[in-house]
Amino acid sequence: MPFWPWLLRIFAAFLLDPEKIIKWAICILLIPVALLVLLFAGPVVAYERIPLAKPSQVQLYVEAAREVSESTRTACDEKGLTVDWQPLLAIDAVLLRQDFSLASKWRAVNLARRFVEQTGTRTCIVGYDRHGKPIEKTVPVYRLRNLDEVLDELRLDAGQRAKVADYLTLDLNLLRDVGPGVPPGWLPVEKSFRWPVPGVYFVTSGFGPRIDPVEGIDGFHTGIDIGASMGTPVVAAADGLVTTAGWAGNYGQAVFIRHNNNLETRYCHLSGIAARRGQEVNAGEVIGYVGSTGKSTGPHLHFEIRRGNRPTNPVDYY
C-alpha cells in the first residue's frame, strides 16, 4: 500500500472530527507556554522571603564578619570597625540564588572585606621608651562602607537590590543556632509549671534552630536541654497522666505526661524512670532521674512542652 493514501486518511479523520483538531491545536499552543514556564520557574521558585541558609551556613557569615572586624583593630584603634553579618547573608542569598550549599568561609570573608576600605594611615603614640620619648607607630585607617557602595561594586541590579533590602527587613538572627536561648544566670519563674529539675537552672541548649550536637547537622531543637549531673531527680512540671514511661527511640528512657489544656510535657534521656504508664502524677512528684540515654552527648534533661502535639518553647512558660 502506498504511503500517501494512508496519510490522506489521517487528514480526513481530522477534518471529520473537529474536536480532535481543537485538541491538537491546544497541544501545539501549549508547547511554547510550557517552555516559558520552565525558563522562569527556576528563579521564581528560588526567591523566598527569607534566606534559606541553615544555622551552620549562617555561622559562616557570622564568623567572617567577626574576623574581618577584628582585622581592622590597630594600635591606634583598639575597637576597630564592626562589620554586620546580616547584609552579607542577604547579599549571598541573592548572588547564590538561595543555594547556600555554594557558601564557604572564604567566600563570606571576601564579601565581608568589601565593607571595609582603607582610607589612609595615621601615626599614634603607643608607649614611651626609657628616656620618656614617645614610641610612634603608623597604622592603616579603615572606614566602614555602606550597603549601597558594596551593592554598586557588586553591580546588583534594581531587582536584586530590592531582594537584599527585603531580606534585611527581617532580623536574620532567627536563622541562627539559638544557643542556650536564655541569658546567663537566667532563673525560671514558676507559674503554672514547676521547673523539672529543682535547683538546676542551667539551660545548655535552647528551643529552635540549632546545629545538632551529635550528628553535626542542622536541625530544630524541639525542647530545651538542662545540664544536670547523672541521677539528679526530675519532677513532673504539672499534674497529669503519664502516657509514656520507657524507651522512646532518640529520646532514650523518657516520660511523657498529658496535662489539661491540650498540653504535654516530655522528659528525656533519663537514667532511671520512677513513674509508670497510666499513672496520675502531681506537680513536683519525682518521675525519673537525669541520664544520657538515647541520642545524647552527656547527662542532661531534654525537656519539651507541647501544645496540641506541637513543640513550643518551654522557656515561655517560666
Which residues of this protein are in contact with Zn ion, per CB under 5 A? 225, 302
Beta-carbon-side half-sphere exposure of residue 241 (alpha carbons within 13 Å):
6
Q: Find the shortest distance in angstroms from Cβ 195 to Zn ion.
A: 16
CB atoms within 10 A of CB 317: 19
Q: Which among 152, 128, 153, 124 is positioned nearest to 140, based on CA atoms?
A: 124
Q: Which residue has the cell 548572588?
A: 95
Q: Find the shortest distance in angstroms from Cβ 59 to Zn ion.
A: 19
Closer CB to Zn ion, 206 or 233, in the complex: 206
Closer CB to Zn ion, 114 or 302, in the complex: 302
Closer CB to Zn ion, 2 or 216, in the complex: 216
Q: Find the shortest distance in angstroms from Cβ 205 to Zn ion.
A: 6
Which grid coordinates belong to 121? 594611615
Closer CB to Zn ion, 176 or 302, in the complex: 302
Q: Please, what's the b/e burial string for 54-69 (b: 16 or more CB within 10 A of its CB; e: otherwise)?
A: bbbbbbbbbebbeebb
Q: Find the shortest distance in angstroms from Cβ 171 to Zn ion.
A: 24
- Residue type at position 112: A
Closer CB to Zn ion, 100 or 303, in the complex: 303
Q: Which residue has the cell 544557643?
A: 179
Q: Find the shortest distance in angstroms from Cβ 303 to Zn ion.
A: 8
Q: Where are the extended beta strands (E) located within 45-187?
A: 116-128, 134-144
Closer CB to Zn ion, 109 or 254, in the complex: 254
Q: Find the shortest distance in angstroms from Cβ 212 to Zn ion.
A: 10
What is the C-alpha separation between 81 and 115, in angstroms, rounded? 10
Helix or strand run (H / E) with residue 164? helix 158-167
Point out the residue whose Cβ comes nearest to Zn ion: 302
Q: Which residue has the cell 582603607?
A: 118
Task: List alpha helices for the chain, DSSP H.
Answer: 3-16, 18-46, 55-71, 85-95, 105-113, 147-153, 158-167
Q: Find the shortest distance in angstroms from Cβ 208 to Zn ion.
A: 11
Which grid coordinates belong to 23? 485538541
CA 179, distance to chain mean position in Å, is 11
What is the C-alpha separation between 244 and 237, in angstroms, rounded? 15
Closer CB to Zn ion, 51 or 206, in the complex: 206
Q: Find the shortest distance in angstroms from Cβ 198 to Zn ion.
A: 19
Closer CB to Zn ion, 177 or 225, in the complex: 225
What is the C-alpha separation between 84 and 86, in angstroms, rounded? 6
Q: Find the shortest distance in angstroms from Cβ 196 to Zn ion.
A: 12
Closer CB to Zn ion, 259 or 302, in the complex: 302
CB atoms within 10 A of CB 13: 10
Q: Do residues 196 and 265 lie in contact, with contact meaning Cβ atoms separated by under 8 Å? A: yes
